[in-house]
Structure 1
């Protein structure tokens, strides 16, 4: 029996979903914004490391009537009636996430990666506890102790860093700081660290001082799903992640943990840090987890890494200083200073040419570098040959060897050959 039959609905059920023409008729001003953003995404090179193109199936779930449903609580224990079918959607997302990552427990309700980290802290820590995390100047996230963020206001963060020569995490320093400060929790993860993290080393250090190990794996988790990066799940007490980025799902978060912490994590998400779950987003997460469990996604994840390595090598050959000497992931950090530019100015020059990326902190000094990733362009179908072409074009733009018209023409050729959505 189908879900619609079990719900008691009779006759033909016509799906209700996104209707752009209805939006255009009712609100043409906003419709133009949507069209403009679609054109922008499809006509520029999207190299922001945290972005990707979701599938039409994910978009369909996001624009579904599940957006109408209020569902505080968890499947089988909601604070609202009429949740029988959204319970099915959330259970699908939970079971698919557990199977995909080999976790005992999954909470798929966090609205974002930051919400997931907040829930982890709420479950394991008390205000004033000491936490050891990667310092913000070395690629730590805002939730790793920024004074502008709840983490820096509520907890006593100590930052570890990277080796000044290699740019790699200094595990000896992590160990020494852990022994000195005896943190309640040790956080591993970064927004701009392009190498695999040694989760076993972090686990050993955490055990030495009796600390919880929290893996903030927002960036590599899609690669983990595709078997292209090591998993933090066997080592960390709690794993926090996003469901977009390389994972290619909707914008949102999730928390994975062992059975012993499941109840504490669930209570930390709801009711402590969030109210009603966004059921349309949870359904879209379920779709994305299902897609990520396929051989096609595993091939995609491997191609993302292959593309990043080629692009990193190409940028280095063009004279940019690539941090850590390369990448193991989808992410590349590079200093344009050898070309006479600081990161912010370089980003602006590239944006004018149709190449969209971010800046990031560099391991040492106050200047900003460039942070770029290959997840979105790989979704479009680009491969190593295109990465070589993009690296050469990026450097030519920074050196002003081509003007914006010439650069945008080459970008147009690439994006038309590899559209993100094919009819």
Structure 2
């Protein structure tokens, strides 16, 4: 190959075998394991093609029709499609598809609606909130005053405490949603509390936006002012963010906050994949997918409960279930490692009134978006509940040897993965 052609023609396995080796190993891992980490999911083949297309080389600062570079008409068309599809999915007045992540979506809302030092009322991290909602080590917690509400003793949002804190502290913004609250949010109630103090409202629906799109979870509109979500969870899209507003006027503030406020140029390849996955979410088949996601989560929840595990709030309305391990004398980090060793990936997670650190935790978050994307349903979710319970029971009975792999359990997980393969090899 001539020196002029290698750049465009040499494959990765030849150009950089070390990186290629890690990618091959990761593909093998994903094919052979059962993914139950709530934020993880798969793209359709079509969305992967869009994301890996030549669109990646476009530079498109600004918005469709108002770019700062030439040669953008095709990317403009793609972004307009993504915007219109996002609005249709959520019955929104405006959509911005450019945020690189859910956290940057939330940062853009802060930038648009607040000034440094303003007060924000949001859910405590251990109760189910997210670090970008005001955690002290996050930009949102350093630049703004965060007041936290939590949950009742049984794990449900304490709306009385929310109202009391709102009246006392007069926040400029009230945030609901997050990363590990397993129940439906009362959006009309939050809206009424915000109206009492003149606050704006933000719903971070990242972990259940696919259910909203399929009408399997209450819609935040018309009650909430702004909605943010990631696109990679149960929307089955690429890693990225999305901001939706109730009306177009507020949307213009959001646009300015994203660019030039907190980001430069967007990622056209990611926007192309978003457009594809949004189109998929508007098809009737997506409703079946979303229903299986929720049904699998509830089957996992009831199955683990039947095996004696404590489920936060006693069940779930979202694509994951939260398991409180304290009644079994287990820690989240140890349980996570044991399950991974048997071919089932989950993640340790704080649970309400948790006294452990975020690196240890007293709970597990177990999600079903990825298994539903593979085609699994209630029967498989029930089998996974038994696999998880068998691993954790073994660990609880003998902490010293419980980390060792039980080949019979691992083979059951492997058999499920083989029965529901990923992309053709």
Category of TM-score, reference length = shorter chain: over 0.9
Note if 1:330 corresponds to 2:313: no
1:168-317 maps to which residues of 2 (within 5 A)? Answer: 168-257=156-245, 258-317=247-306
- Alignment-derived partner of residue 384 in structure 1: 378
TM-score scaled by length of structure 1: 0.93
- Alignment-derived partner of residue 414 in structure 2: 412
Alignment root-mean-square deviation, CA: 1.4
Q: Distance in 2 between matches of 1:21 and 1:28?
A: 12
- Alignment-derived partner of residue 366 in structure 2: 372
Shift of 1:20: 11
- Alignment-derived partner of residue 163 in structure 1: 152
Q: Which of 274-283 and 231-240 deviates more?
A: 231-240
Q: Distance in 2 between matches of 1:383 and 1:217?
A: 23
Shift of 1:264: 0.6
1:65-76 maps to which residues of 2 (within 5 A)? Answer: 65-76=54-65
Q: Matched residue of 1:232: which SS?
A: coil
Note if 1:24 corresponds to 2:24: no
- Alignment-derived partner of residue 391 in structure 2: 397
Is contact 2:83-2:96 (8 Å) kept? yes
Shift of 1:21: 8.2
Q: Distance in 2 between matches of 1:81 and 1:274?
A: 20
Q: Matched residue of 1:359: which SS?
A: strand
Is contact 1:233-1:256 (8 Å) kept? no
Structure 1 stretches of 4+ moved >3 Å:
401-404
5+ long unaligned stretches in structure 2: 1-7, 396-401
- Alignment-derived partner of residue 349 in structure 1: 338
Note if 1:83 corresponds to 2:85: no
Q: Distance in 1 between matches of 2:264 and 2:408?
A: 50
Is contact 2:106-2:133 (8 Å) kept? no
Shift of 1:327: 0.4
Q: Residue by residue, what CA displacement relative to the aligned partner does 1:28-57 show, whole Å, maximum 9, x if unpaired?
A: 211111111111111111000111111111
- Alignment-derived partner of residue 113 in structure 1: 102
Task: Number of aligned residue pairs: give it.
Answer: 404
5+ long unaligned stretches in structure 1: 1-18
Note if 1:94 corresponds to 2:83: yes
